[in-house]
Amino acid sequence: MFIKIKRRKNMNIQEYDLMNCIMKQDYVNQRILSEITGYSLGKVNSSLKKLTELGYLDEKMQCTPKVYEELEDKKPNNAIILAAGFGMRMVPINVEVPKGILEIKDEPLIERLIKQLQEAGIFKIDIVVGFMKEQYDYLIDKYHVNLIYNKDYMTKNNLYSLKCVMDKVGNTYILPCDLWCFENPFSEREWYSWYMLSNREVEESNVRINRKKEIVETKKNELGNQMFGISYILKEEAEVLKENILRLSKEREYSYAFWEEAAMKNGKMILKPREVSQNLVYEINTLEELRELDEDSNQLNSDIISLISKVLSCDTKEIVEIKALKKGMTNRSFEFSCRGERYIMRVPGEGTDKMINRKNEYNVYQALEGQNICDPVCYMSPETGYKITKFLDNARVCDPYAEEDVQKCMKKLRGFHECKLQVNHEFDLFGQIEYYESLRNGTKSMYRDYEETKRKVYELKTYIDKAPKNIALTHIDAVPDNFLFTGDEIRLIDWEYAGMQDVHVDIAMFAIYAMYDREHVEKLIDAYFDNACERAIRIKIYAYIAVCGFLWSNWCEYKSICGVEFGEYSLRQYRYAKDYYKIVKEELSREGKEENV
């Protein structure tokens, strides 16, 4: 339910602009006011007449006491800077510094914004932090600002950052941390609530300024005005904003919402537009935008950029068209071009140093060299886990519900298994369960029946230990998304978890990631074995499904502690542990082999 704003009979946006102009240089004549504001002479004349009727101007076109009373009531009180997010498009720089600390002309973005606020008399400044929050701590001592931590910064958008400080909104500037403003956008004097947009039209924006000087939603295929995120919120509109933030934050579909969605009502923003030239404000979203604004910026000397330059024997300026890829479960990756060739660089994600042995992964890639199985690796560091691979053009992942795709993937998987490659480390299923559980540092599982489920899963260990196995290098993460179709070839990528194990574990892993039901599991097994799977092996794969489901459920619980959530995926993994334990018991009971479990 929206709160209705009770408005006084005030000026419209054109009249406010005229008042600002008059207050800056006193009234001269209508024609000069028309030239300065850009409004027609007729509009200026009618507006001056209304301002006089409303009591803002006297007969000599001088400001009345009413002007100063209203300005005092609307005077800026404080500012909120939103600086919690990753800034994913800023890869690879965001691996080393948060966006607000990026430097233009030797000055961090956020420091310039703080100085501009203080020049306008705004000293009450709250900064909402999250990602690399420690790098903002020095601002407390240098500028006497206040830091507020947003614990949801990894999984939710800035609507939730503003929720952390919504009790402070009222005659308030709200702004992001990643803008470079050539002119100070803040003032000691504000007349109305506004939101800053560029006069430049872009595809990414979903709002535009209409003829009535309102901010409205764009229609399908319609360009919008570039949104900068700087705004000023008076107390009246603040009440509406707070109500909407509370309402939207309770709805799951708004987890990735920007705060601006709380400022919309019936397709229109409750804030007036503050339109500025596209040359006055720069939003720094990518490394190339940073390079364009300041080619000597310290952040362009990124360690990762320097590494790419060294590996490819190129100048850093030849590394272009950098684009963040969708954040995966384990890593942050980005695509880039160099001398006409495209590449992908993988940067390990949060907490992966505790979950993946990069030296083991390096040894796996050494074993795979020349086998035409994996993605074409240009560089792999056994210390950091940084990896550079050539981009595979026109590649697509396996569709787990397309029978032909699955048949081809299982043929590729079986061919890899038959190579019987060897490395010096194993992937111990039960050992990894214990390890992932230990990473919780004594924190109880989120599942109430966890201990009972664990006991049942461990009952299967006896049966698995006795079952015949085919031990060789096993991918472990052989899931549909890691099979890349490139023309007539299939490449199997992402070997972080690979090690010596029973190769049939890979079949179980494919099934549980695809979140298959029983019918699809049977078809998958038949596809791998050409409809000739022995019953004992089939039951063993059921057991692996239960164990692997429990394994990844523990993995998800640890990642949840790190702030990364996987929704249905984590729930389904836990269900596989319970459901396939029952299936193994039922199958063995039919054969009279209950005593083996």
pLDDT value of residue 87: 66
Listed in sequence order, the residues at least 6 apart from 40 whose beta carbon sits closer than 8 Å to its beta carbon are 34
pLDDT score of 96 more than 80: no
pLDDT score of 354 more than 80: no
pLDDT score of 3 more than 50: no
Looking at 388-449, list the stretches that DSSP marks H as alpha helix, in order from N- to C-terminal side: 403-418, 429-438
Q: What is the mean pLDDT of the chain?
A: 88
Quote the tokens at residue 406: 């699955």
Ranges 24-38, 56-70, 226-240, 540-554: which has the least confidence: 24-38
Ranges 94-103, 170-179, 288-297, 359-368: which has the least confidence: 288-297
Listed in sequence order, the residues at least 6 apart from 565 whose beta carbon sits closer than 8 Å to its beta carbon are 155, 559
pLDDT value of residue 329: 45
Choose between 534 and 26: higher pLDDT: 534
- Angle, CA of 417, 420 and 423, to the nearest 5°: 115
CATH 3.40.50.2300 given to domain 409-483+502-596: no
The crossing angle, in degrees rounded to 10, of helices 505-513 and 535-561 is 60
- The share of the chain scoring above pLDDT 70, in percent, equals 91
pLDDT score of 267 more than 60: yes
pLDDT score of 6 more than 70: no
Ranges 93-97, 129-133, 371-375, 429-433: which has the least confidence: 93-97
| pLDDT (tens digit per residue) in 541-550 | 999 999 999 9
CA 232 to chain centre: 26
Mean pLDDT of 317-340: 77
Amino acid making up residue 317: K
CB 430 within 8 A of CB 547: yes
Ranges 145-149, 500-504, 561-565: which has the least confidence: 561-565
Listed in sequence order, the residues at least 6 apart from 72 whose beta carbon sits closer than 8 Å to its beta carbon are none
Block residue for tokens 């800023």: 90
Mean pLDDT of 172-200: 93
pLDDT score of 253 more than 90: no
Mean pLDDT of 160-171: 94
pLDDT score of 454 more than 80: yes
pLDDT value of residue 90: 61
pLDDT score of 451 more than 70: yes
**Residue 561 and residue 332: Cα distance in Å, rounded?**
18
Count the residues in the chain. Answer: 597
Ranges 155-159, 208-212, 479-483, 591-595: which has the least confidence: 591-595
Mean pLDDT of 72-94: 82
pLDDT score of 339 more than 90: yes
Ranges 337-351, 431-445, 450-464: which has the least confidence: 337-351
The hierarchical CATH code for the domain 74-283 is 3.90.550.10
pLDDT category of residue 98 using cuts at 50, 70 and 90: confident
pLDDT score of 7 more than 60: no
Mean pLDDT of 262-267: 92
H-helix or E-strand spanning residue 396: strand 396-397
Highest mean pLDDT pick, 192-201, 293-302, 317-326? 192-201
pLDDT value of residue 389: 92
pLDDT value of residue 564: 67
Choose between 112 and 106: higher pLDDT: 112
HSE at residue 389, side-chain half, CA atoms within 13 A, is 19
pLDDT value of residue 93: 62
CB 262 within 8 A of CB 248: yes
Closest CA to 572 of 544, 552, 555, 543: 552
pLDDT score of 5 more than 60: no
* Architecture of the 302-390 domain: 2-Layer Sandwich (3.30)
**Residue 257 and residue 248: Cα distance in Å, rounded?**
9
**Under the phi-then-psi rule, with left for phi > 0, alpha for psi from -120 to 50, and beta for the rest, what region is 38?**
left
CB 82 within 8 A of CB 147: no
**Residue 466 and residue 196: Cα distance in Å, rounded?**
68
Helix (H, G, I), strand (E, B) or coil at 321: strand
pLDDT value of residue 172: 97
Quote the tokens at residue 362: 């390096």
pLDDT value of residue 305: 83
Domain ranges of the chain: 13-72, 74-283, 302-390, 409-483+502-596
- The share of the chain scoring above pLDDT 90, in percent, equals 57
pLDDT value of residue 29: 82
pLDDT category of residue 301 using cuts at 50, 70 and 90: low
pLDDT category of residue 298 using cuts at 50, 70 and 90: low
CB 172 within 8 A of CB 271: no
pLDDT score of 559 more than 80: no
Mean pLDDT of 583-594: 82
Looking at 467-590, list the stretches that DSSP marks H as alpha helix, in order from N- to C-terminal side: 505-513, 518-529, 535-561, 568-590
pLDDT value of residue 563: 65
Mean pLDDT of 57-80: 91
Highest mean pLDDT pick, 149-158, 324-333, 491-500? 491-500
Highest mean pLDDT pick, 53-57, 370-374, 473-477? 473-477
Closest CA to 334 of 410, 389, 269, 271: 389
pLDDT value of residue 568: 83
pLDDT category of residue 585 using cuts at 50, 70 and 90: very high
Sign of dihedral through CA atoms 128, 130, 132, 138? positive
Quote the tokens at residue 505: 């574990």
| pLDDT (tens digit per residue) in 476-488 | 999 999 999 998 8
pLDDT value of residue 4: 45
pLDDT score of 144 more than 90: yes
| pLDDT (tens digit per residue) in 376-396 | 999 999 988 889 999 988 899
Mean pLDDT of 321-339: 74
